[in-house]
Structure 1
Amino acid sequence: MLAQEKVLQSYYISYSMERKMNINRLSDDTLEEIFSRLSVKDICFSKCVSKKWQIIMSEFSFISRYASKSTGISGLFFQHHEELSDFLRKSIVHIPVEMECLQVQENVLNFLPERVSVVSSNNGLLCCRSFLNTHISSIPGGVAEGFRWGKSDPKLYVCNPTSKEFITINPPEEDFGVSIGLSFDTNDRSFQLVNINCHQNSSSSGLFTFSIFSSDTWSWRTISKKVCNWNSTVHRNKQVFVSGRFHWLTLNHHLITFQIKNEESGIIKLPGPEMNGEGYRGMCLGSSKGFLNYMVVHPSEIRIWALRSYEKPEWGLAKRINLIEFCGLYLSQFSPQLLPFLQEQLENDETEANTSVVPLAFNEDVIFMDIHWSLFSFNLKTSALKKHCCTYMMPCDVFLSPTVLPYSVNLAALNAFKGMGAGASTSTSIRDRTRQIFF
C-alpha cells in the first residue's frame, strides 16, 4: 500500500511540473489576460506559485487592466447614524454581497487605532474619521436631546480593509467639516480627499468652502474663490463620487457638487417632488454608466433618475418600478405580510417615503434595498432578485438613515500606501493579518 502511495505521489508531482512548464511557455501578454479573469483572492494565492507570476501580477500594466474590469460591488458597509443617542454602542457592519454563504461581519475595522465613523469609499479604499462634536437626537432630524463631545485631536484614516493597512492624516486646521469625500486614482495610486465646510454668516445662510488633500503633496489647501451659498445643511452620510465629481445630498431637495479637475462647485435641484423627512428616508445616490443617479421610493413605485447634464442640469427618468407588480412577480421571496403593507400605503401622498422598501445603494444597474427587514439586491438588466440577509437583528437600524457605503475590492488598492509623501506613516494591524474579510 505504501509503495502505491509513493507511485501516485511521484506521478502527481511530475504531472504538476509538466502543467507548470506548459503554462510558463505562454507569453506574458497571454498570462496577463488569463490572470485578469481571476478574483482578487485567487490572484493573492497565485502570486505564491512562482516568481514569474508574482512579477506579472505586480506590473502596473496588469493592475491597470484588472482595475478597469473591477466595477461590481463586493460588499456594503453599514453604520448607525452618528446623531443617534445609542451610536457609540453600535458596531460597524460589513455585508459581503458577493459571497454565497453570507455572514454579517462586525468589527471589521478593529485594526484602526480608535473607533471611527466611515465616511467615504472609492476603488478599494475607505476613508474614516474620529467622532465629531455632535447633537444627539432621538431620530435623524428630530429634536436634539444633548451634545456629544468628540476628540480634541481628531484624525482621518484612509485604509484598505482587505489588507488591513492604513495611514493617518490630520484634518484641515480651519474646520473638520461635515462630510469628506475620497477619490483614489488606480492609475498612479494617488488619492485625494475633499472636505466640504459649512460656515454661517450674518444672514444665516450657509457658506460652503472646500478643502482638498492630495497624497502627492501630503498637504491641505482651501479653495477660497470657489464657494457655494446655500441656506441648507449637507446630509452627513449621503454622498457619492461619480466621473470626477463629488455629490452631497442636502436636506432641502438639492445637491452640492464639486469637480476635482476644474475645482468648480455647483448646486443642483433634485427631480420630482420634495420628499418629507428632509432627505433622511426613502432616497439614496448612486451611479451607472458614468452618470449620477438619484433613487427615491414613493408609496406606489421606485423611481430612478439619471443626471444627463451639469451645465444646464437635466434629469432623465431612467426606470420606474411598480411596487405592487414587483411584489407579485417575486412573491415567494418575500414575507406574506409585505403585500398588505404595500397596499395600505397606496393612498399616501407621493411625498411620503414608503416604509416597507428602503433604498440603500445603487451601482451599475444593481439596486440594494431593505424590503421588510431583509437585504435584497435587484439587477435591472437581468431582473434577478437576490436575498442576502435579515436586517432585523443587525446592530444598525436601516430605517433611521444609516451610513451605507458600497465597497469594491480592487487589486490596485493593495499596497497603495507604499512610497507616499514624507508625511505618510503606513501602519498594519498586528492582529489577524492573514484574514481576508472580503473573500
Structure 2
Amino acid sequence: MRNQKKLKGLEETRELWLPHSLLIEVLWRLPSKTLAWVRFVSKEWKNIVSDRTFIKLQLKPREQLSGFFSQGRYEWSDGDVKSVSYISVDRDFTKVEKGVLNFLPENVVILSSSNGLICCRSSFPCSEPVLYVCNPLNREWITLQWPNLPKDSSTALIFEPFKSQIDVSTDFQVVTVCQTYIEEDEDEDEDGVQFSFNIYSSQTKVWTKSTEICVCGHNLQKKGCAFVEGVIFWLTNGDHILMFDPEKELSCLVMQPFPASQLNFRPGMCVGEAEGRLQYVLFSEDGLQLWELEDMFSSHWSVKHFISLEELERENPKCMYHISEKLESHLTTDTFPWINPLSFKDTTLLLRISTDIYAFNFDTKKAKLLCPYSALGPNSMFSPIVIPYTMSLVPIG
C-alpha cells in the first residue's frame, strides 16, 4: 500500500510540472532494474520505458553487471540439478534468489547469457527437450526446437540489440558446439576431438550446420563461454581456447597466455569479457592474474592485472590468510581447490574461497563476501554452471 501511494505521488508530481521531454531525460538515467518498476506508475510511463528508442538510449552506454546465475551439477548422475540460483552483486546486501526463472513452463538448465537475455534448455530426463531464450527482468520468453543435439553440447547465445544504428534489434543467434572423439593413427600419441557447430537464427527460425570443423587434442571445459564482439570463446581442458565466429563461420585454437603444464598444481581459470575484449583469469602459486587478448590469430596476450599472494592477503586478511600454505596443500590431484575462479565480467570476478562465494574487484583488489556455497543449493561444489548477467529491458518475442 505504501509503495502504491509513492507511485501515485510520483505520477501526480509528473503531471503537475514535468514535460514529456524532461521526463524522458530523467528516466533514461535510471538502471534497468528500477525501470522495471517504473513501468507500473502510469500508462504513459510504461509506453516511454517500453519504446525501443528509449531502451537503446538508456541501455547502450551504461548498464553494468547485475549478478551471476549459478546451477549445480551431479557428478555421476545423468540427470540435471533443478535448482537455479541468482547472486546479485549490485546491492549493498547480497541475497541469493531462487525461482528467478520459474516463469518458464518447466525446470531448465542455464546455458548462456547475452545483454540481458538467458538461454537455457529443458532439464533432463525429458522426452521432448527444447531451448528457451528469455528475459528474466520482464519475464518474456520464446521456445526453440532441440535439433537432436547431444546433451553435453555447449551452447552460446549471441544477442546484440545495439548493433543496428536505427533501432533496437531483437534478433539473436544460438550457437552450439558438439564434440566428437576421433582416434588418431598408431603413430600419434593422443586421440583428438573434432568440434562442429550448429547455428540458429531468430530471423530465419531455422538451424544450419556449419561446414567449419576444428580439431583439438582436448575437449571443452564445462565453464561456459565468453562472447566478445561477435566471437565466442570456450576453454578447453588443455592449453587452448576454442574460438568461433558465426558470421564468418571461422574457428581457430587460441593458445592460453600461460600453459598450465608449467605450473606446480592445477590452476583455477576462467574466461570473460571487459570493454569488448576477451579476458583470461588465472589463479596460481604466483598470484591472481588477468590477461587480455590482443590478437586471437597470433595468440598475443597482455597482462592487465597481476596481484601477488602477499598483496591479496594484505588487502583481504579475513578470507585470504595464510594463502601460500593453503595453496600448497591443494595439489594437482585435488578435485576442489581452495580457491576457484567461477566467472568474470567487466572488473568483477566471482570466485569460491574454501566454502564461501566472493566477488573480487580487480580495481580495488578487495573481495566481498556474497554467500556461503551451501546457499546455492545441492551439488554446487562439483563444476557448477555459472554465467554473468546484465539486466536489460529489451523485449523478446
TM-score, L = length of structure 1: 0.77
2:156 to 163, 181, 199: 181
- Cα 1:392/1:171, change in 2 over 3 Å: closer
8 Å Cα contact 2:119/2:132 also seen in 1: yes
2:143 is aligned with what amino acid?
A: T
8 Å Cα contact 1:192/1:212 also seen in 2: yes
1:193 to 162, 167, 174: 174
- Cα 1:188/1:18, change in 2 over 3 Å: closer
How far apart, in 2, do the equivalents of 1:293 and 1:67 lie?
23
How far apart, in 1, do the equivalents of 2:119 and 2:361 lie?
28
- Cα 1:176/1:400, change in 2 over 3 Å: closer
8 Å Cα contact 2:291/2:304 also seen in 1: yes
How far apart, in 1, do the equivalents of 2:106 and 2:380 lie?
24
Structure 1 gaps of 5+ residues are 1-12, 133-149, 418-439
- Deviation, 1:18, is 5.9
Pair 1:75-2:50 in alignment: no
Question: What are the within-5 Å matches in structure 2 for residues 289-308 of structure 1?
Answer: 289-308=275-294
| Aligned residue pairs, count | 377
- Deviation, 1:93, is 1.4
**Equivalent residue of 1:377, what SS?**
strand
Tell me what 1:371 maps to.
353
Pair 1:403-2:391 in alignment: no
Question: What are the within-5 Å matches in structure 2 for residues 11-50 of structure 1?
Answer: 17=12, 20-24=15-19, 28=21, 30-50=22-42
1:324 to 310, 325, 333: 310
Tell me what 2:228 maps to.
242
1:209 to 170, 178, 196: 196
1:380 to 362, 367, 373: 362
Structure 1 range deviating more: 208-217 or 43-52? 43-52
Structure 2 gaps of 5+ residues are 1-7, 162-167, 185-190
List per-residue Cα deviations over 1:53-72 (Å, max 9, x = no partner): 33332222211122213442
Question: What are the within-5 Å matches in structure 2 for residues 49-88 of structure 1?
Answer: 49-85=41-77, 88=80
How far apart, in 2, do the equivalents of 1:14 and 1:272 lie?
58
**Equivalent residue of 2:30, what SS?**
coil
- Deviation, 1:346, is 5.0
Tell me what 2:165 maps to.
none
- Cα 1:190/1:73, change in 2 over 3 Å: same
**Equivalent residue of 1:199, what SS?**
strand
Rg (Cα) greater in structure:
1
8 Å Cα contact 2:114/2:159 also seen in 1: yes
2:39 is aligned with what amino acid?
A: K
Structure 1 range deviating more: 193-202 or 211-220? 193-202
- Deviation, 1:344, is 4.1
List per-residue Cα deviations over 1:335-381 (Å, max 9, x = no partner): 5xx42353343588899999332212211122222223222222222
1:157 to 126, 132, 135: 132
**Equivalent residue of 1:378, what SS?**
strand
- Deviation, 1:194, is 0.4
How far apart, in 2, do the equivalents of 1:409 and 1:95 lie?
13
- Cα 1:102/1:232, change in 2 over 3 Å: same
1:116 to 80, 84, 108: 108
8 Å Cα contact 1:70/1:410 also seen in 2: no
- Cα 1:180/1:42, change in 2 over 3 Å: same
Question: What are the within-5 Å matches in structure 2 for residues 228-377 of structure 1?
Answer: 228-274=214-260, 282-331=268-317, 334-335=318-319, 338-345=320-327, 355-377=337-359
- Cα 1:398/1:302, change in 2 over 3 Å: farther
1:94 to 80, 83, 86: 86
**Equivalent residue of 1:249, what SS?**
strand
1:416 is aligned with what amino acid?
A: I
- Deviation, 1:168, is 1.7
- Deviation, 1:206, is 2.1
8 Å Cα contact 2:132/2:141 also seen in 1: yes
- Cα 1:406/1:348, change in 2 over 3 Å: closer
8 Å Cα contact 1:176/1:197 also seen in 2: no
Root-mean-square deviation (CA), in Å?
A: 3.1
2:396 to 409, 416, 424: 416
- Cα 1:151/1:394, change in 2 over 3 Å: closer
List per-residue Cα deviations over 1:148-199 (Å, max 9, x = no partner): xx43432111122223332221122465661010011223111110011223
How far apart, in 1, do the equivalents of 2:378 and 2:262 lie?
22
- Cα 1:15/1:369, change in 2 over 3 Å: closer
Identity %: 29
8 Å Cα contact 1:297/1:353 also seen in 2: no
- Deviation, 1:201, is 4.0
**Equivalent residue of 1:339, what SS?**
coil
